[in-house]
Every structure is written in structure tokens, then in C-alpha cells.
Amino acid sequence: MPKVKIQYNISLKPYNTFGIDATANEFVEVTTIEELLLLVNTFNFSARKILVIGGGSNLLLTKDFDGMVIKNSIQGLELLNEDDESVWVKAMAGEKWHSFVMYCIEHGYGGVENLSLIPGCVGAAPMQNIGAYGVEIKDVFSSLEAVEIETGNIVLFTNSDCKFGYRESVFKNELKGKYIIVSVVFRLSKHPKFNVTYGAIQQTLDKNEIKDITVKAISDAVIEIRTSKLPNPKILGNAGSFFKNPEISTLEFEELKVKFPNIVGYPTSNGNTKLAAGWLIEQCGWKGKQVGKTGSHKDQSLVLVNYGGAKGNEIWQLAMDIQQSVKDKFGVTITPEVNIV
């Protein structure tokens, strides 16, 4: 019989990459679907707040949590099916994202190599529709299973059910807090089409004199790029990119370009222009600036950091100050990518 052990007044410092020392009233770690179902069917979640965490890498805790924190540690990888073109791999939600990517690289499965070294767990990937270097989860997503908290039923979600957008899904909006993702199925390619045009991937391949492009070569390049400009959260507390790149109309972009000729923007598929939030923040003088125990990282202004001992509300105040300064200078609103609790 599965059992779950509830712990009380637990520090969440080890469970979030910002290293914020907030306390949870109740804390429980589940390692199987059976344990999760027991938990959901035993406790009245309509009467208590819950927070589900995986790697804690997309989370800013601004205060103690007066509810139950559920650490999803359900792990496992399984090859479900394959044909001449594709393979379908099922990854459990508590599996580390980078471990899943490395499994795909090792087997030559294409589609997630551009998403190497992203922190966090598989379960958070569809919630956020994580993306990097021209690739998003929705491009390789097949389906997921999630436990409905109210009923304890396991529900299947297809790609269209998830309503994926830029760093968005149904789980961040109308279904927020209603489901706990337990597994995700990805459709990967046996004959991948490589995406090397975004960021510095091609330059890195050229620098390393890589002529034979493979999923491993691209993964290695992405890891090299990310390592060179993003701080390791085990050394310096952070949650990766704090803000999303804002999207504006192309007309607005052209107007901004008159005033700011060097402004960085990329055309989107819907005819708008996506601005580089990091560039906007840098132009406002935040890059490398330290405010108390927090600051914007010296190599990547999008990354807010905890230099040690910062409280979550201090980091949130810094984020709001950055947000306001970008609004004042450019008339553009940048919104957090990180989940603020």
C-alpha cells in the first residue's frame, strides 16, 4: 500500500533555485502516481492552498506558504512507440528536464536538442511551454496525463487541449491549480531537421569547427552558450530569465526604431514583433547592477540573482522597479516568466 508522509513547517530553501528561505506549513514528496492519488483522495484540497513544485527553477517565493507544498518526484522514461519517422517517449513529471534531453541525445532522437541545460523538471515544461533557440515544447509535445485535484481522476490532454502560447498554457491560466501533471509524451524525430539559425548556435559550431551537424553537436553548442552567459543556480541563486520577451505591433516597433535605432526585435508568425527584453533592461542601466542582496546579472540582464540572504519580496521589488523603468523609457510592459508565490 502506498503511504505519504506529511512534514510540517519545512524550509523551502533547498527546493527553489533562488535559494529563498521561506517556510511551508505542510510539505509532502510523492514518488509514484499511487502516492499522489492517495494524497488527493485523503486531503480536502478545496479547503487548503496547494503549491506543486518540481525543480523549483521557475519560482519566486515572496512569503511563507500557508498551505501544502507537494514535491513531484515521480520519475521514469519509457519508449512507447515508433515508426519510420518518429518515436514517442513518455517522461514522468519528476524527471529532470536535462536528463530527459540527454536520454534523447544518447538515442539520436531529434527535437529537444535546442532545449539542453534548461533547469527544472519535465512536468513544468508544458505548463510553461518552455522554449529556447527557436524551439518550444509545443513543437514536440504529443500528450500529457494529469490528476484532477477535485476528483482524483487522471485526465489526458492533447496538444490543442493545452492551448500553448509564448511561455503560456491552459495550466497557467484557466486550469491553474486544478491539475497535477504526472507524465508527458513527446514525439521526437529519427530524421531531425536542425535549427541552428537562432542565437549563437551556428557561430559556436563554426568556432568549434563542427562540420557534421548532429543532435549531440547542437546540444553541446547550446550547453556551451548557456554555460558561458547564465549563472549556475547552485552557485548564485536565480530562476533563469525572469521576464518574457514582450510582443508589440510592427507599427509600434517601427515608431520605437525612430527613437531607438539599435532596438532589437524579431518578426513573429502572427505579424507582430517580439522585442528582446534583455536589451530593454540593459538600456535602462540595470545590467550588472546590485541592489542590496539582489541584482541583475552582469552577463545577462534578464537574469535576476540572489547574492545571498535576499528575501523573495526584495527580488520582487527589484523586478517591479526594472519593469517600471522599461515602461517609462520605452512605453513597453515586460511581464514575469517566473511564477510569483
Whether residues 89 and 53 fall in one domain = no
CATH for 244: 3.90.78.10
CATH for 12: 3.30.43.10
Whether residues 114 and 64 fall in one domain = no
pLDDT at 202: 86
pLDDT tens per residue, range 37-73: 999 988 888 778 999 999 999 999 999 999 999 999 9
Q: 269 catalytic, yes or no?
A: no
97 touches 186 (CB < 8 A): no
> What average pLDDT score do residues 99-103 get?
97
pLDDT tens per residue, range 5-18: 899 999 999 999 99
Whether residues 286 and 262 fall in one domain = yes
Whether residues 55 and 103 fall in one domain = no
pLDDT mean across residues, the chain: 93
Band of residue 78 on the pLDDT scale cut at 50, 70, 90: very high
Smallest CA-to-CA distance from 302 within 328, 332, 323 is with: 323
Whether residues 280 and 184 fall in one domain = no
pLDDT tens per residue, range 323-332: 999 999 999 9
Smallest CA-to-CA distance from 140 within 173, 109, 94 is with: 109
CATH for 137: 3.30.465.10
* The domain boundary residue, chosen from 38, 55, 72: 72
Whether residues 182 and 82 fall in one domain = yes
pLDDT at 247: 93
* The domain boundary residue, chosen from 16, 44, 72: 72
Whether residues 92 and 67 fall in one domain = no
Whether residues 251 and 184 fall in one domain = no
> What average pLDDT score do residues 24-37 get?
96
Tell me which of 167, 183, 226, 301 is the catalytic residue: 167
Tell me which of 219, 241, 296, 301 is the catalytic residue: 241
Domain that holds residue 50: 7-72
* The domain boundary residue, chosen from 19, 41, 72: 72
Q: 249 catalytic, yes or no?
A: no
pLDDT at 197: 79
pLDDT at 98 over 90: yes
pTM of this prediction?
A: 0.91
Q: Is 266 within the bounds of a domain?
A: yes
pLDDT tens per residue, range 137-161: 999 999 999 999 999 999 999 999 9
pLDDT at 43: 84
Please state the domain count of the chain: 3
pLDDT at 1: 59
Whether residues 85 and 67 fall in one domain = no
Q: Is 222 within the bounds of a domain?
A: no
Rg (CA), the chain: 20
Q: Is 312 within the bounds of a domain?
A: yes
Q: Is 221 within the bounds of a domain?
A: no
Q: Is 201 within the bounds of a domain?
A: no
> What average pLDDT score do residues 20-48 get?
92
The 3-state secondary structure of the chain, one letter per residue:
CCCCCCEEEEECHHHCCCCCCCEEEEEEEECCHHHHHHHHHHCCHHHCCEEEECCCCCEECCCCEEEEEEEECCCCEEEEEECCCEEEEEEECCCEHHHHHHHHHHCCCECCHHHCCCCCECCHHHHHCCEECCEEHHHCEEEEEEEECCCCCEEEEECHHHCCECCECHHHCCCCCCEEEEEEEEEEECCCCCCCCCCCHHHHHHHCCCCCCCHHHHHHHHHHHHHHHCCCCCCCEEEEECECCCEEEHHHHHHHHHHCCCCCEEECCCCEEEECHHHHHHHCCCCCCEECCEEECCCCCCEEEECCCCCHHHHHHHHHHHHHHHHHHHCCCCCECCEEC
- Among 132-146, 217-231, 289-303, name the one with the lowest average pLDDT: 217-231
Q: Is 231 within the bounds of a domain?
A: no
C-alpha–C-alpha distance, residues 295 and 290, integer Å: 4
Tell me which of 26, 35, 145, 337 is the catalytic residue: 337
Q: Is 214 within the bounds of a domain?
A: no
Whether residues 68 and 86 fall in one domain = no
pLDDT at 201 over 90: no
pLDDT at 186 over 70: yes
Whether residues 168 and 243 fall in one domain = no
Pick the more confident residue, 213 or 307. 307
Whether residues 91 and 49 fall in one domain = no
Q: Is 255 within the bounds of a domain?
A: yes
Percent of the chain with pLDDT over 70: 100
